[in-house]
Amino acid sequence: MLENSRSVVKGRFKVNPAKRKCLIFSDNEGLSYIQPLFIGALESIETPYEVHLIKNYKEILSDTDTPLSFESVKELNIFDERNIKQLLKEQYMGTQLYIASSWKTAEYLFSLALDCGYSEEEIQVHGLGEKTEYVFCAKCYNLTLKDNEENVVCSNCNTVLVVTHEYSKLRKGYLGFAKTN
């Protein structure tokens, strides 16, 4: 769903002083991206912010945490979808949402935010680590892992597919057509 979205930020997050509040979702991978620079920028313009550290069950149990350069932090369990949605819905109008995390987590949080009525302009996303992309086979409707090649062999029906740039949100993959000759 994040594919080709305007919300994806490649460099640094953009700080907008007009925003009333910033809601930040991060995971352990995202922390080094938001601190100290981004958090420092928010503090210098005195925009209120809230950081929610998204953790999986294993991380909640372990106590090997990344040191934090800010005080206002809360922890959220990634499987606690109800609480995450509740938090998203209770924000004021004019809240800017920032997501800095692994691509997988970013994808998940981004779709929850859209479900809760956020527009792409209200969300900035910075994904980290490996990005998993798929090719959708037009012949058997199976998804195959995408590499950087022009063609990919469907892992289900073995058809050689030509990978297009056309992304299907519904199929969650780039369309792949059977290669002729």
Query: Which residues sit at the interface with Zn ion, rule CB under 5 A?
Result: 137, 139-140, 142, 154, 156-157, 159
Tell me whether residue 91 or residue 142 sits nearer to Zn ion (CB atom): 142
Beta carbon of residue 21, minimum distance to Zn ion (angstroms, whole number): 47
Tell me whether residue 86 or residue 158 sits nearer to Zn ion (CB atom): 158
Tell me whether residue 88 or residue 137 sits nearer to Zn ion (CB atom): 137
Tell me whether residue 116 or residue 140 sits nearer to Zn ion (CB atom): 140
Q: How many CA atoms lie within 13 Å of 83's alpha carbon, on the beta-carbon side? A: 9
Beta carbon of residue 163, minimum distance to Zn ion (angstroms, whole number): 13
Beta carbon of residue 140, minimum distance to Zn ion (angstroms, whole number): 3
